Amino acid sequence: MKIKLTLILLTATLSVFAQADPTSTPTSTTEESYQIPDLIEFFNSYTTLSEEEEELSTLNSSFLTSHSSLPLDSIPDSLYIACADYHPITTSQRVTSRFGIRGSRFHFGIDIGVPYGDTIRSPFSGTVRLATYQRGGYGRYIIISHDNGLESVMAHFSRTLVKEGQKISAGQAIGLAGSTGRSTGSHLHLEFRLFGNQFNPEKLIDFNTFSINTQEDGNYLMTIADTYSHRPQLEEMKRAAYHRIRSGDTLSHIAKRYGTTVSRLCALNRLKKTSILQIGQKIRYR
């Protein structure tokens, strides 16, 4: 309760900061005083809209949805993301699986161990873009297009409490934790996306303290270099290719077939030269 109250006060203070006139900062064209645009500004400058569209483009969910997938190369190196209305998603501090390479897959979010039926809340205000069910994957899941331009994906709910198109406020209950989809045990899978590109939620939120990594004005400074520091890993993974072991395969057969060496195969798959291969096992050769 104490934490909650402090957060409310903090949020209120931050909102005051956020309301300070952002246009009052003088803009200059010299390189030294380059102003980092905010995400919303960038959205609006990215597409040239007719006047009529301009009026409609105040970042409603359909606008976000239709512009939500951009390659990282076309995004500025740094952007401010308005996070002053942040509210913790859960009261659990138990991050059970982190963002990044997990076996032969890339885990595009983090998993937080949350007791079954616990309330999950929206971190920022926004509009529910999707509230649906995916068998064997996300299970019951929600995608929220936040007013600050971020999208969050939350999955494996036992029950969802919001509908598609519904406007929600920061801290609003959106669902109850569960274990639907590909999941062993009750947990929340959480992703943050910027133009469809996931980044590590722990860059933005500290799940030990529930605090958010923002500046005094409540903005998170997104930089491609830091926020997307996993990019080389991801590119490396995209280059990866696999061979499925069939009867009679040996490491030297596989090495010869794909123009590599047994040592390289061993290193890529953390195998020894003498390791026994199982039929159906996936061996990475690139």
Q: Which is nearer to Zn ion, 111 or 147 (CB)?
A: 111
Looking only at residues 155 through 214 of this chain, which bind Zn ion when binding is defined by CB under 5 A? Answer: 189
| Bridge pairing between strands 167-168 and 242-244 | unpaired
Candidate residues 111, 147, 151, 191; the one interacting with Zn ion per rule CB under 5 A: 111
Give the β-pairing of 126-134 and 167-168.
antiparallel
Strand, coil or helix: 26: coil
Instruction: Report, in Å, the least distance between residue 99 CB and Zn ion.
Output: 9
Q: Which is nearer to Zn ion, 85 or 111 (CB)?
A: 111
Please give the full DSSP string across 111-149, using - where no structure is assigned: EEE--TT-EEE-SS-EEEEEEEEETTTTEEEEEEEETTS
**Which residue stretch of 9-17, 22-30, 108-116, 203-211 sits at the interface with Zn ion (rule: CB under 5 A)?**
108-116
Q: Which is nearer to Zn ion, 85 or 187 (CB)?
A: 187
In the complex, minimum distance from the CB of residue 205 to Zn ion, in angstroms, rounded to a whole number: 15
Cβ proximity to Zn ion, 111 vs 151, nearer residue: 111
* Residue 38 binds to Zn ion (criterion: CB under 5 A): no
Query: How many CA atoms lie less than 13 Å away from 99 in the CB half-sphere?
Result: 22
Give the Cα-Cα-Cα angle 187, 191, 194 (nearest 5 degrees). Answer: 170
- Cα 164–chain centre separation: 20
Least distance from C-beta 109 to Zn ion, angstroms? 5
Tokens (6 digits) for 285: 């050769």
Cβ proximity to Zn ion: between 95 and 268 the closer is 95
| Least distance in angstroms from the C-beta of 145 to Zn ion | 21
- Residue in the block written with tokens 């996931």: 198
Output the smallest distance, CB 176 to Zn ion, in A.
Answer: 17
| Count of residues near Zn ion by CB under 5 A | 2
Which residue's CB atom is positioned nearest to Zn ion?
189
The minimum distance between CB 97 and Zn ion, in angstroms, equals: 6
Q: Of the listed pieces 44-52, 81-89, 105-113, 165-173, which binds Zn ion according to CB under 5 A? A: 105-113
CB-nearer residue toward Zn ion: 115 or 165: 115
CA–CA distance, 45 with 163 (Å, rounded to integer): 30
Torsion of CA 37, 152, 105, 209, to 10 degrees: 90
Tokens of 158: 């036992």
Q: Which residues contribute to the site for Zn ion (CB under 5 A)?
A: 111, 189
